[in-house]
Structure 1
Amino acid sequence: MKNSTDPIVVACAADDFFAMPLAVTACSMVENLNPDCCIDFYVLDGGIKQSNKEKIIESLEGKPIEIHWVKPCSDYMERLYFQADSTYPISAYYRLLLPEIIPDRYQKVIYLDTDVILLEDIAKLWNLDLGEYYMLAAMDAANQKMDRLTHLKHLDLDAMGVSREDKYLQSGVLLIDLNKWRADQISDKLLDFIANHLELPYPDMDALNFVLAGKWGELDPRWNQIPVVHSFASWESSPYTQEQLDNTANRPFIIHYGSKPKPWDQSCTHPQQSLWYDYLHQTAWSGWENTLLEQNILLMRRIGRRLVKSTKKLVATS
């Protein structure tokens, strides 16, 4: 895989439910990659079955990408996960441990959710200047500012040192300065924030917004197009200029299918759903269809996972 250039370092977190979407994300990434570049790809493994790992490897065979399977280990994080009210899988927490997971020889990393596809060369994101920021992220266009989120209304933002006018970041696409995170022990601060706010429904995203308030730089929204951009009646009702909204909606760099239903769900109405399937057909899952049987099996597995978490939460809090 290796070529003469230093690799672009990318990390994704997934459990077995997201094994196939992970392959789609990775295939879209290498398909649009500058041919002079290569990728060191860290998969933060939340329980991917060996058979699905083999299909991911098959999907990327011969591509300029080297896969590193990592099982993050943090007893503290696991306790928080089973105590928290959030319904997210434990893999959603893994991005918070990236400075400990990624080798020290690397100074930065791109983190991607596994419900995204790339339509632009990821090297362009990698080469952006972080400046003095700990991280680059896009504003969450659905929520926009800290004081607009109803699930944060019970918190005294001013007492917590957070401006009500601070933008609320979306955590599905991040460019992280690992050196700054390591030096200031940001991972520990993020987990401590979650420990003190177990009631919050979006643990990783809320923690990042509070701990790094005023310390992150804003990405062009094209790097993280979320579904809400297709819902604005006009640019005046959006947080964007007319040009920004047009570019983000119609010429995105990354499409983030960040709400339900997902593009692989039968009920999906996302206007760019077909692009996800274009990349699916380049993976070892080519030809897959979400039948009613598949949908019901997935539903039962998710119910089972939530029952397991509920049981462990009772044990952890008893």
Structure 2
Amino acid sequence: MSDTPTMTSQEILPEAFHIVFCVDDRYFRCMGATIASIIEHNPQRHFTFHVLATKVSEHNRQLFEGLRARPGIEACIHLLDPRMFERFEQYTRSSYYSSAIFARLVIPEVLGAFTDRVLYLDADILCVGSIDALADMNLDEDIVAVVPDAKATTERRVAALQLKHGKYFNSGMLYINIPRWQEAGISRQTIDAILQQGERFRFPDQDALNVVLDGRARYIDIRWNYLYGLVGDLEGNRPALDIAPGAATFIHFAGSVKPWGAWCEHDSVKLFEHYHRQSAWSALPLDMEPQNYKEARMHSRFLWARGKRMQSLQWYMRYLGMRRRR
């Protein structure tokens, strides 16, 4: 299923807390800031960071494995056979999804030799506090700990998926009990659900996980996956990061605008930049301008909301040109 990882289970720090990411090369920069934020707020804890990917550039490999130079930190890359995801091509060919979203389904199988507990995180998350309470949580009787999605999303997806227990979680954070997950056959059932019911899924892997884990997941406090959408702030000309002190440990910038997009001029950019400067990818610049036609259109709207009418119209024209060329 995967190539031999760059280190063995015997080399992993026995007391380490395991965190895994599923990313392609484009997201290593963002993941680097996530890792830096976790380390900053948890200086006394040992970590093993895992990456599941189908391909990793030599540059990214060297930077990631360079994390081992830090005391108490280990890093392990697991290369997956891309043929594993060919069956999901219909969901990645004509959308912004990549095969990385399906890689999380094989986390328990790949990491079972390393640990019995692992925290999966999306790479658009920043840590702003201690994870001690999460690491000390007793998961012995649970398959996975999750956090509910936004109220409006939950209501829509519960109705669309006919979830019997009335709950719906965001899969950007999954704290997995690997033995219980494997015993329950969650990965196999989720893959089957995608292949058999995928046409009715708005978010392919997330919807499938919610269907399979309906009534079987443990819901925990939103501080562990605090969803924050920048679009609403920017359309309302609210550039400040509005989170009550202590309300979040993991801030998940799950919307279509990310904090590494410096062009959005939101305060979250400063937060991301703080951790980015500490990461192995600090030499890479932030996105100073929109990178695609969708971002260009949003930038035009945000400029209009700030009263910058001429710049807004200029970016709308650029959006039209970018859309024609795509």
TM range (shorter): 0.7 to 0.9
Q: TM-score, normalised by structure 1?
A: 0.76
Instruction: State which of 281, 286, 306 in structure 2 corresponds to 1:285.
Output: 281
Change (3 A) 1:149 1:68: same
**Higher deviation after alignment, 165-174 or 270-279:** 270-279
Change (3 A) 1:97 1:55: same
1:51 positional shift: 1.1
Change (3 A) 1:131 1:86: farther
Which residue does 1:276 correspond to in 2?
Answer: 272
What whole-Å deviation, never above 9, does each CA across 1:90-147 have from its counterpart, x for those lacking one? 01111111111103352111001111111122343122122532111110015453x5
The structure, 1 or 2, with the larger RCO (C-alpha pairs under 8 Å, 6+ apart) is 1
Which residue does 1:311 correspond to in 2?
Answer: none
1:9 positional shift: 1.2
Which residue does 2:3 correspond to in 1?
Answer: none
Q: Do the aligned residues in 2 keep the contact of 1:34 with 1:123 (CA within 8 Å)? A: no
1:187 positional shift: 0.8
Which residue does 2:87 correspond to in 1?
Answer: 80
Which residue does 2:186 correspond to in 1?
Answer: 186
Q: Distance in 1 between matches of 2:221 and 2:276?
A: 26
1:16 positional shift: 1.0
Q: TM-score, normalised by structure 2?
A: 0.74
Q: Do the aligned residues in 2 keep the contact of 1:141 with 1:229 (CA within 8 Å)? A: no
Matches within 5 A, 1:39-78: 39-58=47-66, 61-73=69-81, 75=83, 77-78=84-85
Which consecutive unaligned segments of at least 5 residues does structure 2 have?
1-10, 234-241, 296-326
Which consecutive unaligned segments of at least 5 residues does structure 1 have?
233-244, 300-318
2:31 is aligned with 1:22: yes
Tell me the SS of whatever aligns to 2:105: helix
1:261 positional shift: 0.9
The number of aligned residues is 273
Matches within 5 A, 1:56-135: 56-58=64-66, 61-73=69-81, 75=83, 77-84=84-91, 86-104=95-113, 106-135=115-144
What whole-Å deviation, never above 9, does each CA across 1:67-108 have from its counterpart, x for those lacking one? 110022374x41332122653110111111111110335211
Q: Distance in 2 between matches of 1:69 and 1:181?
A: 22
2:16 is aligned with 1:7: yes
Q: Do the aligned residues in 2 keep the contact of 1:119 with 1:252 (CA within 8 Å)? A: yes
Which residue does 1:209 correspond to in 2?
Answer: 210
**Higher deviation after alignment, 186-195 or 120-129:** 120-129
Q: Distance in 1 between matches of 2:173 and 2:23?
A: 15
**Higher deviation after alignment, 265-274 or 135-144:** 265-274
1:20 positional shift: 0.2
Matches within 5 A, 1:225-304: 225-228=226-229, 247=244, 251-268=247-264, 270-286=266-282, 288-292=285-289, 295=291
Change (3 A) 1:73 1:3: closer
2:148 is aligned with 1:139: yes
- The one-letter amino acid paired with 2:123 is T
What whole-Å deviation, never above 9, does each CA across 1:21-76 have from its counterpart, x for those lacking one? 111111111111251x311211112433111222333466324211110022374x
Q: Do the aligned residues in 2 keep the contact of 1:110 with 1:173 (CA within 8 Å)? A: yes
Q: Give the fraction of aligned pairs with identical amino acids, expressed as a percent.
A: 26
Which residue does 2:167 correspond to in 1?
Answer: 167
Which residue does 1:222 correspond to in 2?
Answer: 223
1:267 positional shift: 4.0
Q: Distance in 2 between matches of 1:20 and 1:246?
A: 24
